[in-house]
Amino acid sequence: MPTFFSDPSLSLYLVLAVAFVIAFAVWSRKRDRKSLLAALAFGLLLLALVLVDRSFESPREQANRRVQLMADAATARDPDRFVEQLSDTFSYRGATKQQMRTSGLWTTLRNFNARVAVWGFGKGEFEEIGENEIEIGFYAKGESPQGFRMYFMKGRFVRDPDGQFRAKTVKFYAPEGGRTNEDPPPGFP
């Protein structure tokens, strides 16, 4: 499904909604067949767009969902569920998918009783690198009774042989430091 329909912009929704409202207003004033058909056509187009948007997951939406699943797995301290979201080609500073399963990250999360939250998956932070590779930007926060640590993150995702996008690599940046120097969390490989 083309991303134009499976992940439509707000402006496309707005254009169709305004066209529907105008066509409906014209029909309510004229009450003729032609204006009724125009209002129905715009209404059906708007409904079809909503159905396609909700029925098909775009690569960006899939990557966002996988990041949320990783945050949930980190909070639950479940390395197996976490690495399910990583591609077999995953690499971060030399660490592989299998090394992530036994990373010191899991000890850090347990010791600090940390909770991980992610947000801010804006379309402005999405970049299509190629047909089978995308990059998303978002914010992440590790929170514990001792305090919190926040990051701006860039995640690169690739389409695996099963057709699903999974994380290939990730970069951590301190929000106040800009996006030039990486600042990985303690215990992350």
Write the pLDDT tens digit of every residue in 103-123.
888 988 899 999 999 999 988
Nearest Cα to Cα of residue 152 among 118, 124, 126: 118
| Cβ–Cβ < 8 Å for 110, 131 | no
Write the pLDDT tens digit of every residue in 158-187.
999 999 999 999 999 987 777 778 888 877
Write the pLDDT tens digit of every residue in 49-89.
999 988 899 999 999 999 999 999 999 999 999 999 999 99
Mean pLDDT of 135-162: 94
| Two tokens, residue 104 | 């010191």
pLDDT at 176: 78
Mean pLDDT of 144-163: 93
pLDDT beyond 80 at 150: yes
DSSP label of 112 = H
- Global pTM reads 0.82
Give the separation between CA 82 and CA 73, rounded to whole angstroms.
5
